[in-house]
Amino acid sequence: MKEHFPSPRRKRLVTNDTLVSSEMLLHAVTQILRRIQLDRDHDIPYLAGYSRDGKTIYIDRNLPKSFTCRGRRIEVDRFLVLHEAVEKSLLDELGLHYQHAHQIALRAEEAAVCAAKVSWREYDRFMQRFIKEAGDESLTRVPIDLDIKPYRDEHDRHLLLLMQQSMELQQHELQSLPPAVKRAVKRGK
């Protein structure tokens, strides 16, 4: 299921955008959310990833959409989307190594979590419980357009093999569909 985040009403921010600002950061996250599609229908190693073209952010289908922190329900998608969008941009636009792009994206994610007045320690503890590594679970639904560069850069050959097998199986299943159904599947319908 691909989702679009709703467009919030435009409001003028009354903050100096040249200074560190939680309000401005959260506004920037909202702008990123408006520009991508979110897909939570697949198995995604390490919780989240992105399509090769960067237009879709994938979040693992088994990751809960929220957790409770100090009596508050915290929705997590926006923070993961920020991380993945920043990481993909740094890889594609600046040609950084995955490990460098990941560290910068992780810091942006942390800043957004803190700007939302959520404990980074509790957020990170929640995320660590759900990270899938090779062998933790069968990868049966890996999106065929998932960008595998991060997994290649981590040199996780076993995980890459599992992902490749899943992607090839889905590609084969897609090829056996009638042409009209193939077009609908590719459009996400």
- In the predicted model, what is the mean pLDDT of residues 123-142? 76
Which pair of tokens denotes residue 57? 């952010």
pTM of the complete model: 0.79
Strand partners for 68: 73
DSSP states of 103-168: HHHHHHHHHHHHHTT--HHHHHHHHHHH---TTTS------TTB--HHHHHTT-HHHHHHHHHHHH
| Domain boundaries defined on the chain | 2-186
- In the predicted model, what is the mean pLDDT of residues 87-105? 96
- In the predicted model, what is the mean pLDDT of residues 162-180? 75
pLDDT in tens, 29-68: 889 989 999 999 998 988 999 999 999 999 999 899 999 9
Length of the chain measured in residues:
189
* The pLDDT value given to residue 189: 46
d(CA 34, CA 4): 7
For the cut 80, the answer to whether the pLDDT of residue 103 exceeds it is: yes
For the cut 70, the answer to whether the pLDDT of residue 3 exceeds it is: no
Q: What is the mean pLDDT of the chain?
A: 84
* The pLDDT value given to residue 36: 92
| Cα-based distances in Å from 82 to 56, 79, 164, 167, 189 | 12, 5, 26, 25, 25
Question: CB of 57 within 8 A of CB of 36?
Answer: yes
* The pLDDT value given to residue 134: 41
Other Cβ atoms within 10 Å of 72 Cβ, number? 11
Among 3-12, 82-91, 110-119, 140-149, whose mean pLDDT is lowest?
3-12
